[in-house]
Amino acid sequence: MTDTDVVDAAPSPLLWGAAAREAAGVRLKGLAADLPDDLTARVLTPDDADRLHAFRLSVVAALTDPDHYRMAGEVGNFVADHLGDKGLTAGIFRDDRLIAYGAIGLPGPGDANRGRDLGLPEDQWPLVAHMSSAMVEAPDRGRGLHHRLIAWRLEVARTLGRPHLLTTVSPRNHVSWGHLAQHGLHARRWLRVGQGLVRFLVHRDVRVEPVLDTSTARLVPLDRLSDHPDLFAHGGRVWARLSGDDAADPTRGTAQRWFALCGRERSGPDR
């Protein structure tokens, strides 16, 4: 699975409503064709609202760490906003049962826009899509569904002419932000959202490919991230989640350790 073809995205006229849903459905064909045999996928409609609402509640209720996803951090009415003109959702099903979804937000004029939080110039705000949220039911995790749903949303954003992908994610949810980073969405700053929650603001502009200045690279243990208030200064990013597998010793009960690869973006003509 790759999303490298997204890099050359050319701006296209913004699509809305039924046209956007149709375009998203076309992009879903690749994801649907690549799914395990027991699963199917389709773009959800307003008729799926109750089902999506119940699914989200059940996944959130079963989180091992409640900080991994807090609905208090959401803006607006999540379900309604992602089944209509303001956003689109892909659902993955086993028979008639929803087992995963990935939602992309398409903010319009006057809507909350994470481009503003990042400090993008106002003329770029219409080119923003939100990688709003994705959830996979526990028994189906580890089958590549999240990676597929991220790739689908990148394709949809490209098709709809929105090269800026943004979202917020808990720094403790390293599976989630690690996957986003694998698709080029890097943490760019700390952001305080609803009820004082502290989140990473992650971003990718599919038109550019930032390069890590390796002279500034450092591995920060995940539980020490908040000790580094300068993490995002001078073009600093979190580029990847790395495993400290070598340090783990199952015979001594040593837990696997995870690190954030941090460092500045290389700049200048010699990058």
Which residue, 69 or 232, has its beta carbon nearer to ligand COA?
69
DSSP reduced 3-state for 89: strand
Burial class (CB in 10 A: 0-12, 13-18, 19+), 124: middle
Kindly report the length of the chain: 271
Work out how close the CB of 185 gets to ligand COA at its nearest, in angstroms, rounded to a whole number: 12
Work out how close the CB of 219 gets to ligand COA at its nearest, in angstroms, rounded to a whole number: 16
- φ, ψ of residue 228 to 5 degrees: the values are -120, 75
Residue of 179, 199, 237, 264 that binds ligand COA (CB under 6 A): 179
Strand 236-243 versus strand 218-221 pairing type: unpaired
- Residue of closest CB approach to ligand COA: 144
Is 173 near ligand COA (CB under 6 A)?
A: yes
Residue with tokens 């959202």: 193
Number of residues that bind ligand COA (CB under 6 A): 21
Residue of 9, 59, 83, 206 that binds ligand COA (CB under 6 A): 59
Work out how close the CB of 205 gets to ligand COA at its nearest, in angstroms, rounded to a whole number: 21
Work out how close the CB of 197 gets to ligand COA at its nearest, in angstroms, rounded to a whole number: 13
Stretch that binds ligand COA, among 9-17, 63-71, 209-217, 263-271 (CB under 6 A): 63-71
User: Phi-psi bin for 268: left (phi > 0), alpha (psi -120 to 50), beta?
Assistant: left
Kindly state the helix (H) or strand (E) to which residue 181 belongs, with its residue range.
helix 174-182
Is 175 near ligand COA (CB under 6 A)?
A: yes
Work out how close the CB of 51 gets to ligand COA at its nearest, in angstroms, rounded to a whole number: 16
- Of residues 124 through 163, those in contact with ligand COA by CB under 6 A are 133-136, 141-147
Which residue, 145 or 166, has its beta carbon nearer to ligand COA?
145
SS3 string, 153-176, reads: HHHHHHHCCCCEEEEEECCCCHHH
Work out how close the CB of 243 gets to ligand COA at its nearest, in angstroms, rounded to a whole number: 8
Question: Site map for ligand COA, 14-53, x if CB under 6 A?
Answer: ----------------------------------------
Q: How far apart are CA 37 and CA 91, in angstroms?
A: 15
Which residues does 176 contact at the CB level (< 8 Å), separation at least 6?
Answer: 68, 134, 146, 169, 170
Query: Token pair of 208, please?
Result: 């550019």
Stretch that binds ligand COA, among 88-96, 117-125, 174-182, 245-253 (CB under 6 A): 174-182
Residue of 69, 101, 239, 259 that binds ligand COA (CB under 6 A): 69
Burial class (CB in 10 A: 0-12, 13-18, 19+), 20: buried
Site residues (vs ligand COA, CB under 6 A) = 1, 59, 63, 68-69, 133-136, 141-147, 173, 175-176, 178-179
